[in-house]
Amino acid sequence: MTIEKTALAPGQEAPGEQATTPGTAPRSRLRDNRSAYSLLAPNLLLIGLFLLVPLVWSLLMAFQAKRSFGLGEWSGLTNLSRLLSDDVFWRALLNTAIFTVATVPLSVGLGLALALLMDKALPGRGVFRTIVYLPIAVSSLVVSLVGLLLFDESIGILNGVLRDLGVGPVAWQSNGALAMLSVVVMTLWTRVGFGMLVYLAALQDVDSEVLEAATMDGAGGLDRIRHVVVPWLRPTTFFLVVINMIWSFQVFDVVYVMTNGGPGYSTTMLVTYAYDEGFGPSRNFGYGATVGLVLLVITLAITAVQLRVNRRQEA
């Protein structure tokens, strides 16, 4: 095979070749960088104003005695010292841990189960997908109000049905354990649809040839899910576990609307406690910021541990 080289006229450039002059490449990179930063500028400005500035401000307030708008007084580690001996804080931390343990595995597990079910050709699959995914499309405040309508002890729909069945009303709001259960149920309703949607997208990447090979080797449906599908979806599962843990530690609206932390402190979470301290009757902004700072540190620590464990498993 021979390659003929076409003769070029004097001053004509070969196809695919570009004349470069000294200083052109740096100027081109500078122009590209300016364009990139100009496009990023609005988002960077919003992140700075609504994320970084409040974060730094809260960090400063955590070391101040500040009970109203205006300048506060530096108090050193007084807020942290009070935190260690605050029974309500430890109760809120325990409630947040219980809530996280109850919601994260169920959100991920139910999302996977529904995704496996919805991945099949079932009658009414589109309608069922819409019902499961609907809470994500509406405001969490609306979902919380729906939960209040369902679990209200006096006029709630569930207690109305139970009365008609002769079972009698259930103390959904005056019993601490049942109040926590109602909050967990409504939270799961808002998260299962998201997990199902993410898993449905991930299931499209599962290699059908591997599944067929497993079937030819005699693997049943549950064996294929356990030994092929679940390991294949490990990165997706890791993502859902991390994001659900962050959401669980940040839960606020469902608790605030349905129980307001009660009865007593049975459903008080770290975020609701920080809000009550900062914007409640005490108006203790410094102590509220301290609770929020501890919550941030715990969330970052758990996320870092999860990332480290995941990297070890992938290595």
Say if residue 270 is exposed, middle or buried (CB neighbours under 10 Å; 0-12, 13-18, 19+): buried
Total of domains in the chain: 1
Cα–Cα distance for residue pair 173/61, rounded to 1 Å: 35
Confidence of residue 214 (pLDDT cuts 50, 70, 90): confident
The answer to the question of residue 197 being in a domain is: yes
Task: Report the pLDDT value the prediction gives residue 65, as an integer from 0 to 100.
Answer: 87
**What is the maximal distance between C-alpha atoms in the chain?**
100
Residue 178, domain extent: 97-264
Q: Is residue 54 part of a domain?
A: no
Q: Mean of the pLDDT values across residues 224-228?
A: 88
Contact assessment for residue 229 and residue 206, using Cβ atoms and an 8 Å cutoff: yes
The helix (run of H) or strand (run of E) holding residue 64 is strand 64-65
pLDDT of residue 208: 85
CA dihedral 179→103→97→138, nearest 10 degrees, is -70
**Residue 220 covered by a domain:** yes
Residue 37 domain-assigned (yes or no): no
Band of residue 69 on the pLDDT scale cut at 50, 70, 90: low
- Whether 88 is in a domain gets the answer no
Indicate whether 106 belongs to any domain. Answer: yes
Q: What is the pLDDT of residues 163-195, one digit of tens each?
A: 888 887 889 888 999 999 999 999 998 899 899
Q: What is the pLDDT of residue 21?
A: 58
Instruction: Look at residue 83 and tell me if it is in a domain.
Output: no
- Rounded to two decimals, the pTM is 0.82
* pLDDT confidence tier of residue 252, bands split at 50, 70 and 90: very high
Of all residues in the chain, the percent with pLDDT exceeding 70 is: 91
Look at residue 86 and tell me whether its pLDDT is greater than 60: yes
Say if 200 falls within a structural domain. yes
CATH number, domain containing residue 136: 1.10.3720.10
For residue 155, report the phi and psi dihedrals to the nearest 5 degrees: -120, 15
| pLDDT tens digits, one per residue of 1-37 | 444 444 455 445 555 444 555 556 677 777 778 888 8
